Amino acid sequence: MLDIVIQAREAVISKAVKVKRILPFRLRRMVGPFIFMDHAGLIADIPSEPSSLDVLPHPHIGLSTVSYLFGGQVTHRDSLGVEQIIRPGEVNWMTAGSGIAHSERFEDPSSLTGGLEMIQTWVALPEKDEETAPSFHNYIPEQLPVFTDKGVWMRLIAGNAFGLRNDVKTNSPLFYLHVVLQKGAKFGLPQEHSERGFYIAKGSVELSGITYYPGQMLVFNKGVDPLILAKENTTLMLLGGEPLGERFIWWNFVSSRKERIEQAKEDWKQGRIILPQRTTRNLYRCLMISQNQREVPHDPNPFHKHPVHNQLKLEHNF
């Protein structure tokens, strides 16, 4: 029934931001096409200089990043020239495809007075779409269907589940939901997808007599129908879909081919990946020095699929 319980680990993504890292995990690298998941916050003690929260420009290939805020505000800039303020309840879906660079900055201190809390996931692309042209789309809450029932509120972030659909553009079958349960509410998982799991962002749930707590992800075998009981007011992120096959992951790069990641590494080092606007040449040099210092020296097989190694390469992703 229950395939695995993943306990989030701490990771550092900027000077002032530590996150709970859920995926990838050494015993479970992906859930459907989802290959990465970070939970930042709640960060209630905002630094006097909010820029210390900034995630500086960095590249991606072979995936889509999905940013979803519970609280606060982030300014996204990317190498397509997009500048987008990200607010709670919106879906920001950036497809890297053949290559993109972006940053996330905290430029309005007044928007952080209630704290900052954010979930970011990466969705691997099917092989046929790994080299697609990069793109960015922002979807406001009014474009995302909401379902309510006794003790249950849920918003469909992407894909399809429980008969809900929306216009968020995806590249493979998946589902992604923000679910809020009141104490005592019972809930299940959508049946139409092969791989399914949920992450506990707040609160606690009981399943088959066992209680699970914030920072845990539960992943289930195909075909089972678990009954989730909220032990208190609880926030869950449900996700999954159809598997895409194995993927290699190094730093911010995801691909079905090792040689493609090698190419991306060289493209970044040689400055062939365009940076977002407002990125200075001096900052680019600092980014390169920082990234080079994070590399593991003398690794005879930098693409082996042991996620403990991969986590070293992911420490500055968000």
Whole-Å CA distances, 263 to 25, 99, 251:
25, 11, 13
Q: What is the phi-psi region of residue 163: left when phi exceeds 0, alpha when psi lies from -120 to 50, beta otherwise?
A: left
Diameter of the chain measured on Cα atoms:
57
Q: Which residues does residue 57 pair with via DSSP β-bridges, in sequence order?
A: none
Of 85, 67, 61, 17, residue with least CA distance to 266: 61
Q: Which residues does residue 121 pair with via DSSP β-bridges, in sequence order?
A: 37, 66
- Retrieve residue 94's tokens: 């950036």
Q: How far apart are CA 158 and CA 176, in angstroms?
A: 5
Q: Which residues does residue 220 pair with via DSSP β-bridges, in sequence order?
A: 2, 196
Whether residue 220 has pLDDT greater than 70: yes
pLDDT level of residue 46 (50, 70, 90 thresholds)? confident
The pLDDT value recorded for residue 279 is: 57
The pLDDT value recorded for residue 291 is: 52
Whether residue 51 has pLDDT greater than 90: no
**pTM (two decimals):** 0.86
The pLDDT value recorded for residue 304 is: 37
**Residue 94 near residue 131, CB atoms below 8 Å:** no
**Residue 90 near residue 83, CB atoms below 8 Å:** no
Of 93, 37, 97, residue with least CA distance to 61: 97
Q: How far apart are CA 7 and CA 123, in angstroms?
A: 20
pLDDT per residue over 297-313, tens digit each?
Answer: 333 333 333 333 333 34
**Residue 179 near residue 202, CB atoms below 8 Å:** no
Domain 2-241 has CATH 3.40.190.290: no
In this structure, of 64-73, 204-213, 261-270, 275-284, the range with the lowest mean pLDDT score is 275-284
Pairing state of beta strands 186-187 and 195-202? unpaired
293 Cβ partners below 8 Å, 6+ apart?
A: none
Q: How many CB atoms lie within 10 A of CB 58?
A: 23
The pLDDT value recorded for residue 223 is: 85
pLDDT per residue over 75-93, tens digit each?
Answer: 999 999 999 999 999 999 9
End-to-end CA distance of the chain: 31
Whether residue 15 has pLDDT greater than 90: no
Whole-Å CA distances, 49 to 107, 109, 267, 290:
10, 9, 33, 21
Q: How far apart are CA 276 and CA 51, in angstroms?
A: 17
In the chain, where are the structural domains located? 2-241
- Considering Cα of 81, then 54, then 171, then 156, what sign does the dihedral take? negative
